[in-house]
């Protein structure tokens, strides 16, 4: 039995795999699922084969030697890394909000294992990271992510380079970490700030009370209570975060005019 392999199709699959590898293999939601490395590689490879075959993708400029193939591969890794930046920033907004609350409540003195970042993180930061993963799949953002990947393959064909985004696009995307993080953590932070003022006034008037030991459980109870009460707006903040992600992709892919790699 003889198999004929189209070299153009094989090169397209390889380049698409490189782009998806930079985009998906280290994505936070892939880390949180806990898939083995071999399964993640097979998932990326099967997705690349499906996209190339289903969209009839072709390499913009077929590499004729090893240096051209290396340049095309580096271009694909660059495109995938730029798109992955938006994903990391989106998840970083929730982690930043959790870190602020951990600092204010006092949970930052103890760390737990965070399955999203595969590191030790404070309690609420880890909780917000897992909440972001749950919202990512429950709100069908993974379907939108696949459509965004297909759009990137149409806008930036395989084997081409994309111009680096303007500093304004990068600054706006990284600035969304702080703005969206503060938006998420603002109600509990404001209530805890008022509680700190009340405890400070109480300590000045009743110095015999050991407020250092009393304030910790009070802050934890009030912080968790306010956090639970304001959890209804987490979904709206997540929508803004995901919109910022895909707006970043749109800005990077549309503003960067492909050049022959």
Read off the pLDDT of residues 142-159 as tens digits, 9 standing for 90 and up.
888 888 888 888 888 887
> In whole angstroms, what is the distance from residue 65 CA to residue 5 CA?
18
Asked whether residue 62 is domain-assigned, the answer is yes
Which residues sit opposite 111 in a β-bridge? 122
Asked whether residue 1 is domain-assigned, the answer is no
Asked whether residue 40 is domain-assigned, the answer is yes
Domain that holds residue 233: 7-260
Is residue 61 pLDDT above 70, yes or no? no
Which uninterrupted H or E stretch holds 39? helix 37-55
Q: Count up the domains in the chain and report the number.
A: 1
> In whole angstroms, what is the distance from residue 62 CA to residue 249 CA?
26
> In whole angstroms, what is the distance from residue 170 CA to residue 72 CA?
24
Asked whether residue 107 is domain-assigned, the answer is yes
What per-residue confidence (pLDDT) applies to 41? 83
Asked whether residue 24 is domain-assigned, the answer is yes
What per-residue confidence (pLDDT) applies to 1? 46
Asked whether residue 2 is domain-assigned, the answer is no
What per-residue confidence (pLDDT) applies to 109? 67
Asked whether residue 169 is domain-assigned, the answer is yes
Asked whether residue 252 is domain-assigned, the answer is yes
Is residue 240 pLDDT above 50, yes or no? yes
What per-residue confidence (pLDDT) applies to 28? 76
């Amino acid at each position: 039995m003889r198999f004929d392999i189209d070299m153009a199709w094989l090169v397209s699959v390889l380049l698409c795999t490189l782009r998806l590898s930079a985009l998906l293999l280290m994505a936070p939601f892939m880390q949180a699922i806990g898939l083995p490395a071999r399964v993640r590689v097979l998932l990326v490879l099967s997705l690349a084969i499906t996209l190339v075959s289903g969209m009839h993708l072709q390499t913009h400029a077929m590499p004729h030697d090893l240096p051209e193939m290396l340049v095309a591969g580096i271009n694909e890794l660059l495109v995938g890394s730029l798109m992955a930046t938006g994903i990391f920033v989106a998840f970083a907004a929730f982690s930043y909000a959790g870190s602020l609350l951990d600092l204010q409540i006092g949970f930052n003195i103890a760390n737990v294992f965070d399955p999203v970042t595969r590191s030790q993180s404070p309690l609420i930061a880890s909780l917000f990271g897992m909440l972001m993963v749950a919202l990512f799949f429950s709100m069908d953002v993974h379907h939108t992510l696949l459509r965004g990947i297909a759009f990137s393959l149409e806008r930036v064909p395989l084997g081409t380079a994309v111009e680096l985004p303007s500093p304004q696009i990068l600054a706006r995307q990284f600035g969304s970490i702080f703005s969206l993080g503060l938006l998420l953590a603002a109600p509990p932070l404001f209530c805890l700030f008022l509680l700190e003022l009340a405890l400070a006034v109480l300590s000045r008037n009743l110095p015999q009370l050991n407020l250092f030991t009393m304030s910790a459980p009070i802050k934890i109870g009030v912080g968790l209570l306010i956090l639970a009460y304001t959890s209804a707006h987490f979904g709206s903040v997540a929508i803004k975060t995901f919109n910022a992600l895909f707006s970043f992709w749109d800005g990077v892919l549309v503003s960067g005019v492909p050049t022959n790699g």
